[in-house]
Amino acid sequence: MEISRYCIPWTPFRKRLEDSIVMLASTAAVHHEADPPFNVEGDLSFRSIAGDAAMSALRIADAHYPHDCVDVDVNTVFPLDRLRELVTAGTIKAVAERHFTTGFTQELRRFKEETVPVVAAEMTKLRPDCVVLTGG
C-alpha cells in the first residue's frame, strides 16, 4: 500500500513530563454518546472529545476489530482516565482540553490528504506538549 511507505513523524521529546500537557489521538472510533457514531462501513470524519468527558459517555462505533475488552473499559484504546491518574500523581501537568478520534476507512489516500491535515490543525491550535496515539 502506498500510504504504508510513509513514516510516522517523530520529534524528540525534550520537555519534562511533569510540565507537559498530554493529548490523545486515536483511530479506534471512539465518540461521545452525544455525537453521531462513525459509519462502520467507512468514515473520513473525526470526533473531538472533551478532556473532562465522562468515560461512561464514550462509545465505540467500529466493526473491524475485536473490542470485547473495549466494551468493558474504553481506556484500553482511549486511556483518558489513565491520563487523569497521571495528573493526580504529578507525572504529567495536565490532560489536553480536547482529544481526537477517527473511525475505519479504506480510503487511505483521502484520509491522509483530507482528514489528517484538518485534525492536525485542530490539534495544533491546542498546543499539547505531547500526543499519545492509539489504534483500534
Number of domains in the chain: 1
Measured between its terminal Cα atoms, the distance across the chain in Å is 19
Q: Taking the model in full, what pTM does it have?
A: 0.89
pLDDT tens column, 57-86: 999 988 887 778 877 889 999 999 999 999
H-state helical runs in 1-136: 68-72, 80-89, 108-110, 116-126
Residues with Cβ < 8 Å from 82, sequence gap 6 or more?
A: 75
Q: Cα separation of 22 and 83, whole Å?
A: 8
| Upper half-sphere CA count for residue 61 (Cβ side, 13 Å) | 23
Q: Which residue range(s) make up the domain with 70?
A: 2-134
pLDDT tens column, 26-38: 999 999 999 999 9
